[in-house]
Structure 1
Amino acid sequence: MGFAKSQNIANIGRNMKAGPCTSSFKKHRSSILLVFVSALLSACNSSRVPPKPNVQITLVPAANPGGPVQLEFIEGRASGVEPGQRIVLYARSDIWWIQPFANQPFTEIQPDSTWRNSTHLGTDYAALLVEPGFHPATKLPTLPAEGNGVIAIATSKGKFVAPIVPKVIHFSGYDWRVRNAASDRGGEPNSYDPSNVWIDKNGYLHLRMEEHDGVWTCAEVSLTRSLGYGSYIFVVQDIGHLGPSAALGLYTNDDFRTDDIRSELDIELSRWGIADNKNAQYVVQPFYIPENVSRFMAPAGVLTHMLRWESERASFKTVRGSMVGPGSTISEHIFTSGIPIPAKETAHMGLYSYRHSKSSSQQPVEVVIEKFEFLP
């Protein structure tokens, strides 16, 4: 009994000595466990892969290889986007064409992650999410892959709808397609309205530029077939009433050319926004090469403008009246460099506004073209 009593006293002593240490260890063990779990969670969070950026097309335009004469809206969403990233749109018509215009290649992403813009119609559509500083090509045989500034790509077939039949008029023995879609001709987007084009009882072509439902609209027609080398003759009534920003273009152009070289020969009547400028010029594109432009002053009255397009040679001439006669020449110029080779070029006649947003005011304006003639 004495031994048991001594053993109990020893156990009580040991328990009294161990009690505080055991309690402290338990407390430290909880803290250590909490620190370990926190570190583990922190490591997991730091190694978590952020979601991959993504772009979607949510509103798909109609499928129609209509090229440059028809427009519709296209919409979509982009996720995982960082500041400065934007959308580049393409529509396919044989090749991929940047949208909506070559000089406006980017579509901004809104704070709610949506984007919206207009596009010319095609059989397929593509939206590219790109890095800041990305320089997109205006025309592509195939879309780029991800990388080199392209973050994500979305493509979609166009919706099947009934074909849109463009307005066609008959003038001077030829069929002309009337433009109804916007263009960037003149440096700023211009809208076009087919009602601005008509033929009067004399058989003359009228092109008008005016406001329709709060939108400034222009006019343009283009031949439905290519004529190639030969003489293009335009008889135009007085253009002295044109304001500084109004421009009349008489030219040949291949709207479907697959490279970025402008295959275009121009007779242009405009002061290009400056009231005391010369009001006419001949151009072999690109215009920014000084040798490709010849400017002159076109007087009041009926004028005949001629372009003779030959291999490695483009000859321009403007004369008074509707008939070529002695002493009637106002201006002429011959270009022998950069002359395009015929492919699918067609003749165009268009009345549009040059950088109209910079004009202080605009007034309705109308141009009358009495005759078009082609001589092989």
Structure 2
Amino acid sequence: MPSAQAAETTPPDPGPAGSFAWKGFNWEKRFWGGAPQYNRLFDSANVSNPDANGHVTLKLTNPTGQAPVAAEFQSTRHGFGYGTYSTIVAKNLSILQKEVVWGCLFTYDPLAEPGYNEIDLCEASAWGGGAAYGESWPVSQGHGYWFDATKPPGQGNNTVNFDVTASPITTHRMVWEPGKLTFETFAGEGFAGTLLKRTVLQGATVPVPAKEQVHFNLWVTGGGGGDPAHVKPESVVVRDFSFVPAAAAPPPAPVSAIKLSATTTKAKGVNTTTLKWSGATGTSVTLWINGVQKTVPNTGAYVNKSKGGAATAYKVCDTAGCSSVLSVVT
């Protein structure tokens, strides 16, 4: 089955060996307890190995009927950074139980203060339903990130929520750039389906790369007035994951061999400045005179006539680079 996006080819760092290999990376099934599951119960058996189609299934179980057990898996690689993250998910979120949280693809570094470097591409929940507050919350999905995890939701994060649909399959994409995050969620498999939501978040609070890992999890929240102990089994199938790193920054322009010099000849009423440069290449060079651009033939010299009294700033550029600014008083 085609990927949502071409995966990183031979990743330079797939991460140490873990529970299984998938989509070019190594992954670890969570077996240890703790947050965010309200009763702190996780079981590695609730995450399947990739099946014949390359799909990974997360299961939320409740063996006793009153103590649900969560599922999570995470990359063993630390530090993905800027680039494009994509995933395809099989789950009708419109029937997600109100206490259940689908932690669809998110990056997370617990040691990156204060925001923990967490970016959530497609988290979905009704967060307990809101009955404890006399309200009725629908299941919604969110695009967002934490910029200060010491503050409560709505204060320490920047999130845009939107309604879920009954689409049995959704495709999600996130582009992480310096100071900018672009999220997209589509109905169906791939990017040809209906665009359900596009969110662009920008600003100084956008996380910067740290030692984040990629996570997927399925768990139960204890807040909002729901009945977390008695949730029924749920499952989500992750069909695909891909990561394409951002293109490397272009190398700096080469240092030009141009050397700029000027000779000023003073005559009555008119001062003449002759610019000379060495190392120029090509058929022409670009000359700046006090910030005004002019392209002149590559003769190695340029005569500029001006009346005296003010400093004139000159700079010349060719295909190899630019000279430093030369200031001449005529």
TM-score class normalised by the smaller sequence: 0.5 to 0.7
TM-score normalized by the length of structure 1: 0.52
How do residues 47-62 of structure 1 correspond to structure 2 at under 5 angstroms?
none
Contact 1:278 1:295 in 2 (8 A): no
Contact 2:143 2:160 in 1 (8 A): yes
Tell me which residue corresponds to 2:173: 306
- List alignment gaps of at least 5 residues for structure 1: 1-164
Count residues in correspondence.
209
Bigger helix share:
1
**Structure 1 residue matching 2:189: 3-state secondary structure:** coil
Tell me which residue corresponds to 1:371: 240
* CA apart distance, 1:356: 6.7
Tell me which residue corresponds to 1:148: none
Contact 1:167 1:194 in 2 (8 A): no
State how far apart, in whole Å, the 2-side matches of 1:291 and 1:203 are: 33
State how far apart, in whole Å, the 1-side matches of 2:39 and 2:208 are: 28
How do residues 115-154 of structure 1 correspond to structure 2 at under 5 angstroms?
none
**Structure 1 residue matching 2:174: 3-state secondary structure:** strand
- The one of 61, 75, 85 equivalent to 1:210 is 61
**Structure 2 residue matching 1:371: 3-state secondary structure:** strand
Contact 1:284 1:335 in 2 (8 A): no
Tell me which residue corresponds to 1:320: 187
State how far apart, in whole Å, the 2-side matches of 1:228 and 1:303 are: 24
Tell me which residue corresponds to 2:138: 277
State how far apart, in whole Å, the 1-side matches of 2:196 and 2:127 are: 20
Tell me which residue corresponds to 2:200: 334
State how far apart, in whole Å, the 2-side matches of 1:221 and 1:310 are: 25
- Over 3 Å counting, the alpha-carbon distance change for 1:365 and 1:299 in structure 2 is same
Tell me which residue corresponds to 2:154: 288
**Structure 2 residue matching 1:195: 3-state secondary structure:** helix
Tell me which residue corresponds to 2:110: 255
Tell me which residue corresponds to 1:237: 90
- The one of 164, 169, 173 equivalent to 2:20 is 169
CA-based RMSD of the aligned residues comes to 2.4
State how far apart, in whole Å, the 1-side matches of 2:17 and 2:139 are: 35
How do residues 58-77 of structure 1 correspond to structure 2 at under 5 angstroms?
none
* CA apart distance, 1:204: 0.5
State how far apart, in whole Å, the 1-side matches of 2:80 and 2:36 are: 23
TM-score normalized by the length of structure 2: 0.58
- The one of 66, 72, 93 equivalent to 1:220 is 72
State how far apart, in whole Å, the 2-side matches of 1:195 and 1:276 are: 31
**Identity across the alignment (%):** 26
State how far apart, in whole Å, the 1-side matches of 2:226 and 2:40 are: 14
Q: Which amino acid aligns with 1:313?
A: K
State how far apart, in whole Å, the 2-side matches of 1:323 and 1:371 are: 10
- How big is each residue's C-alpha offset from its partner over 1:294-320, in whole Å with a ceiling of 9 and x where there is no partner? 010121221011111111111111011
Answer 1 or 2: higher relative contact order, Cα 8 Å, separation at least 6: 2
Q: Which amino acid aligns with 2:74?
A: S
Q: Which amino acid aligns with 2:26?
A: D
- List alignment gaps of at least 5 residues for structure 2: 1-15, 130-135, 246-330
- How big is each residue's C-alpha offset from its partner over 1:247-279, in whole Å with a ceiling of 9 and x where there is no partner? 11120011333x343321112111111164242
* CA apart distance, 1:166: 9.4
Q: Which has the larger radius of gyration?
A: 1
